[in-house]
Structure 1
């Protein structure tokens, strides 16, 4: 039977096996053992945008890394599509249920208020876009999910 001390040591050793990655496009990726993913930042409209790349079941990051390499150069396009999808999926909910600020809002106002705050690249090719809600939903996070074929398939609010 393994002691708790030995289990902690095994877990620490596992996390030590993930080296930092330096990538020309994605920057310096550092492993975060708390979330079991790599983290970095990319430039998006002259600001630093956090990105995370999840580790797969085989303790590999390559599939998420490959996906990030494909998406990041086209991020402005995908972010625009994400906002349009958010409007399609969430504007009606906002205008029918979340009227704490008064009048209904337009699709253009909705898009102008939400701000991309981070991306998570998952091993199976999915990408999660995390948006600040611009107080449309009382400070809840908007998460937009894109499948491995570059189609947005889910929009939800969290928090």
Structure 2
């Protein structure tokens, strides 16, 4: 039987070489494979040190570590927008996206805080603060997630807003902002519509949860009560014009959130509990 390590390595070419990478963000987790973990980080640009060839193509770095309860960290530590010199093996190209064909197996980290003019110029560009200011408020770009983050007044409640950038790693969110403005322009009517839809879909379920709780003498939740107990929390708007709205449940679902999905035409698709 093939070991996890052997199976992992067979996806990569045998040649080992050095490259420089500009890391997009720190390692956030790993895939679980039997008794091993496969952490990964994405990078924004790289330089092949065999040829000096610079590439602004996104890629991924992967490696294996033992899945140990006493483990601390992910084997290697990468920081957001750090420049690293590493030894790698490139993946064998498959019928996949260019991004997944630009994967590398990490053999060794040779140097942290490596220096290179092209990568440093790119790092300065990505590190530069970018924001959108308009009548709705101020929205700051979080490059790690490719979205702008801000707060809007939603019928007297402060709601966190996340606007997806027009393209990944971009610095505009014109499409998402257009949708947000459209929603906020009719905020009272839209809010009532979202609440009504959620109440229609979930009131019966809320009563089932209430019956399953330990509380005594709880009043039946009507659709009207359900609508009133919902409190706006977050809005996520994608670049394709669809959006997800998250309302706090006032403990109707024991602290879960109520998520409402709306398509690009403004039609509500579904309402469910999440989190």
> Normalising to structure 1: TM-score of the pair?
0.85
1:71 — aligned with what?
Answer: 183
Correspondence 1:19 to 2:130: yes
Higher share in helix: 1
The separation in 2 between residues aligned to 1:2 and 1:106, in whole angstroms, is 62
Structure having the larger proportion of residues in strand = 2
Match of 1:52 in 2: 162
- Using the TM superposition, give the Cα deviation of residue 89 of structure 1 relative to its aligned residue in structure 2, in angstroms: 1.0
Larger Rg: 2
Would you say 1:40 and 2:156 are equivalent positions? no
Q: Report how far residue 106 of structure 1 moved.
A: 0.7
What are the ranges of 5 or more consecutive residues in structure 1 without an aligned counterpart? none
Whether the 8 Å CA contact 1:26–1:40 is kept in 2: the answer is no
User: How far apart, in 2, do the equivalents of 1:89 and 1:18 lie?
Assistant: 41
Query: Root-mean-square deviation (CA), in Å?
Result: 2.3
Which blocks of at least 5 consecutive residues in structure 2 are unaligned? 1-17, 24-42, 44-81, 84-118
TM-score (norm 2): 0.52
Shift of residue 47, structure 1, vs aligned partner:
3.4
Partner of 1:116: 232
Matches within 5 A, 1:97-116: 97-99=209-211, 100=213, 101=215, 102-116=218-232
Higher relative contact order (CA 8 A, sep 6+): 1
The question of 1:158 aligning with 2:175 is answered no
Q: Give 1:87's aligned residue.
A: 199
Deviations 1:95-151, CA, capped at 9 Å, x for gaps = 234422444311111111110112111111111111000100000011101111111
Q: Distance in 2 between matches of 1:56 and 1:3?
A: 28
